[in-house]
Amino acid sequence: MSTNAILVLNSGSSSLKFGVYSAATGDPQPTYRGEIEGIGGGEGKIWLKDADGKTIEAESRTFAQQSDAAKAVAENLSKLKLPELSGIGHRVVHGGPKLTTHQRITPGVLKTLEAAAHFAPLHVPAAIALIREMEKLYPGVPQFACFDTAFHTTMPEAASRLPLPKKYWDAGIRKYGFHGLSCESIVHQLRDHLPKHLIVAHLGNGASITAIIDGKSVDTTMGLTPTGGIIMGTRPGDLDPGVLLYLLRNDGDNLDTLERTLDKQSGLLGISGTASDMRKLHEAADKGDTQAQLAIEMFARTAAKAIGGFIATIGGLDTLVFTGGIGEHDAAVRAKICSGMEIFGLQLDESANRKNATEIAAHDSAISVQVIETDEDAQIARHVMRLLGEARPVAR
């Protein structure tokens, strides 16, 4: 039996990226890609493009919840001449301590995932709602969960263990790491010339730095949840635990308000007081907004500290990769992050950096610095194709 088409769904807290991949032969290739934005907000929008980038659908609509977005995806795909779906792949941010490998979604897996929803409350409940709706829309089509944490299961205990009593480690309280599918995508794209020592800086509204040796994660900045690590759009990254105790004791915060502060009101937004979007911060900074300038400076500083620390941890660096929305498009932030790394022999080519070239290191740099577009969705399609193949009986 041949694999016909794979539907990939990449859900966020208020968005849903989707794509249809042809998997007849070789590496899965996208035939259609789209996105729904503004889920749960007053006004959202949906767009769908074919493999050539031609817009097939683009309209503003209201999407109250993920199930409405799922119905819109199915509605749009029903208008196309698609081969029969062989499988549906979901990006799932966190599976907790029991779900750490990419796998088919069974009733048992879904139940375990529901029990782990508190690990990533912004993302996992939305993914669960999407999975359940897809069960109704495409009955009988197997669904697969691809976990962002799976790539980081190779981290040694010295990297993944938190400095807490052992009972918490035994209970699954540890560093899991995220953006794993993005890191897998970068490793896949570098597979013909994979450097031994690699650092991936996935910089977007969510941001993390990952140290990789021989294609395997050995350390990363995000921890138990996607709130930790370096500064992000609305998340603070790592904080002195005493700060949390202070807020709970002295600011009258309860757990719900503290969670909202940490997930939606901190990071670049909290520092600047105006925006979490790096593009808007640059505009404000250029007009003399000192808080916007500070937010950009702090973001670059925390990323540079992580990269420098990982260089020491893994014993050197062959290639630094920038990816994600900021990593791929923001030359000024990349330059700020790299400005103190001459000590490691890293030299940027200013012209190449401004052009967002693939290689932005100077010709005499001891370290390669590359800008690579991440493709989590294609990576999900690869996993689904592999898992479908493993599930088929061997011909005799």
Q: What is the pLDDT of residues 345-391, one digit of tens each?
A: 999 999 999 999 999 999 999 999 999 999 999 999 999 999 998 86
Q: Where are the domains of the chain?
A: 5-160+162-169+379-391, 193-371
User: Could you tell me the pLDDT band of residue 395, with boundaries at 50, 70 and 90?
Assistant: very low
Query: Three-state SS string across 295-358, please?
Result: HHHHHHHHHHHHHHHHHHHHCCCCEEEEEHHHHHHCHHHHHHHHCCHHHHCCCECHHHHHCCCC
Q: What is the pLDDT of residue 394?
A: 42
Q: What is the pLDDT of residue 108?
A: 97
| Architecture of the domain defined by 193-371 | 2-Layer Sandwich (3.30)
Q: What is the pLDDT of residue 14?
A: 79
Owner of token pair 């925006």: 275
Q: What is the pLDDT of residue 286?
A: 98
User: Could you tell me the pLDDT band of residue 21, with boundaries at 50, 70 and 90?
Assistant: very high
Q: What is the pLDDT of residue 27?
A: 87
Query: Three-state SS string across the chain, please?
Result: CCCCEEEEEEECCCEEEEEEEECCCCCCEEEEEEEEECCCCCCEEEEEEECCCCEEEEEEECCCCHHHHHHHHHHHHHCCCCCCEEEEEEEECCCCCCCCCCEECCHHHHHHHHHCHHHCCCCHHHHHHHHHHHHHHCCCCCEEEEECCHHHHHCCHHHHCCCCCHHHHHCCCCCCCCCHHHHHHHHHHCHHHCCCEEEEEEECCCEEEEEEECCEEEEECCCCCCCCCCCCCCCCCCCCHHHHHHHHHHCCCCHHHHHHHHHHCCHHHHHHCCCCCHHHHHHHHHCCCHHHHHHHHHHHHHHHHHHHHHHHHHCCCCEEEEEHHHHHHCHHHHHHHHCCHHHHCCCECHHHHHCCCCECECCCCCCEEEECCCCHHHHHHHHHHHHHHHHCCCCC
User: Other CB atoms closer than 10 Å to residue 52's CB: what's the count?
Assistant: 5
Q: What is the pLDDT of residues 48-79, one digit of tens each?
A: 999 999 999 999 999 998 889 999 999 999 99
Higher pLDDT, 291 or 44: 291
Query: What is the arithmetic mean of pLDDT over 227-236?
Result: 96
Q: Which of 32-46, 114-128, 283-297 has the highest mean pLDDT?
A: 283-297
Q: What is the pLDDT of residue 396?
A: 40
Q: What is the pLDDT of residue 3?
A: 61
What rounded mean pLDDT belongs to the chain? 93
Distance of CA 283 to CAs 179, 264, 277, 322, 323, Å?
Answer: 28, 22, 10, 22, 22
Query: What is the arithmetic mean of pLDDT over 292-317?
Result: 98
Q: What is the pLDDT of residue 388?
A: 92
Tokens coding 252: 């009258």
Q: What is the pLDDT of residue 199?
A: 98
Q: What is the pLDDT of residue 392?
A: 59
User: Could you tell me the pLDDT band of residue 118, with boundaries at 50, 70 and 90?
Assistant: confident
Catalytic residues: 148
CB-count exposure of residue 347 (10 Å: 0-12, 13-18, 19+)? middle
Q: What is the pLDDT of residue 1?
A: 38
pTM of model > 0.75: yes
Query: What is the arithmetic mean of pLDDT over 209-232?
Result: 97
Percentage of the chain modeled with pLDDT above 70: 97
Residue 264, pLDDT above cutoff 80: yes
Nearest one of 230, 231, 200 to 215, comparing CA atoms: 200
Rg of the chain taking only CA atoms, in angstroms: 21
Topology given in CATH for the domain delimited by 5-160+162-169+379-391: Nucleotidyltransferase; domain 5 (3.30.420)
